[in-house]
A = this chain, B = another copy of it.
Amino acid sequence: MVCINKIRIGIAGYGNLGRGTELAVIQNPDCELTCVFTRRNPSGLKILTENVPVYSLSDASLHIDKADVLILCGGSRRDLPEQGPALAKHFNTVDSFDTHAKIPGYFDAVDEAARTGGKVSIISAGWDPGMFSIMRAYGEAFLPSGKTYTFWGKGVSQGHSDAIRRIEGVLDAKQYTVPVEAAVNAVRSGSDPELSVREKHIRECFVAAKPGADKAAIENDIKTMPDYFAGYDTVVHFISMEELERDHAGIPHGGFVIRSGRTGVDLSSQHISEYSIKLDSNPEFTSSVLVAYARAAYRLSGEGLSGAKTVLDIPPAYLSPKSGGELRKELL
């Protein structure tokens, strides 16, 4: 008989992603949840798993022996830029930092902290960045003469929904990013089209306005909002708060990465690869990915490595609880 210690997982931040991570840990028998850190009052936080202590995030450095890997479930805008480097000094960490343009800087900050602490930090895991990044890398490597296309949706964009909620007169809102089917089909056909931002995605908004609000003004504010909506074809539907809660409560998402490339004499052979996902719950899938990368962080740390890594640095085998021999026999 062989006794193997479970990987002790800690969660930092108990929102949608933190709750999803807690559920994902239960699905992985080689992992166990051993602590939760929160910015709220710990005594007021009720979590699902019994007998797991909840600590104040500000006391995290007092509990570095409580987890093998800490999964950072805070937001990319305000939480992770500060928490990532601070916690990487004390814990092996995994996060889903997803502000694409800021990833290089975030990597450097986390890398320095993790090296100082002798820890491993895997940043920007999830699906985009994450699995979609991996598919873009494989696509380029296997078909160097070609083009990569990423489409998102149909799914809820939290950032865009939040942006609508900040408009005067808006009670609540959900924004769906919807890929334009004609564009997707053109890419799938191998015609390698040049596509503008507007040609790839539509933005569809469901808005509950406050009583007496100026709907025309709200619609105009949405459609002209720079960065978020101005470059897109945007559709706005005004619905009641009841309808919003009844029909738009979920957080589904999805998307595809398509690589179209050519090989052979005169590049006469065409090849298309496509990776697609259809998710009922964006945060639950993302947190499930984070737990798999926690397994990888634990192993890399056990091998004596330190510093920041991304999903592109992790061999697929490190995500699996199976041994090399089992993987070769069952999956190869």
Contacts and interface: CB of A to CB of B under 8 A. Distances in A.
A284 B145 CA distance: 13
Interface in A289-308: 289, 292, 295
B310 A281 contact: no
Contact of A138 (B270, B295, B316, B329): B316
Given A145-B27, A313-B317, A273 B270 contact: no
A150 to B, nearest CB: 10
Interface in A262-294: 263-265, 268-281, 284-285, 288-289, 292
Given A100-B332, A332-B103, A275 B272 contact: no
Interface in A156-178: none
A328 B273 contact: no
A14 interface: no
A37 interface: no
Nearest to A29: B144
Interface residues of A, number: 64
Nearest to A312: B317
A240 to B, nearest CB: 26
Contact of A272 (B135, B277, B284, B311): B277
Given A315-B313, A316-B137, A332-B310, A272 B264 contact: no
Q: What is the total number of copies of this protein in its complex?
A: 2
A324 interface: yes
A142 B316 contact: no
Interface stretch (A83-91, A126-134, A231-239): A126-134
Nearest to A287: B263
A277 B288 contact: no
A241 to B, nearest CB: 24
A180 interface: no
A143 interface: yes
A4 interface: no
A235 to B, nearest CB: 26
B133 A332 contact: yes
Interface in A140-154: 140-145
B263 A20 contact: yes
A217 interface: no
B328 A103 contact: yes
Given A133-B331, A134-B138, 16 more contacts: A23-B263, A104-B329, A136-B331, A141-B292, A141-B319, A142-B289, A142-B319, A264-B281, A271-B277, A273-B275, A273-B277, A274-B275, A274-B276, A274-B277, A312-B320, A312-B327
6 contacts: A143-B288, A264-B280, A274-B277, A310-B332, A312-B320, A314-B315
Interface of A: 20, 23-24, 27-28, 100, 103-104, 107, 124, 129, 131, 133-138, 140-145, 263-265, 268-281, 284-285, 288-289, 292, 295, 310-317, 319-320, 324-325, 327-329, 331-332
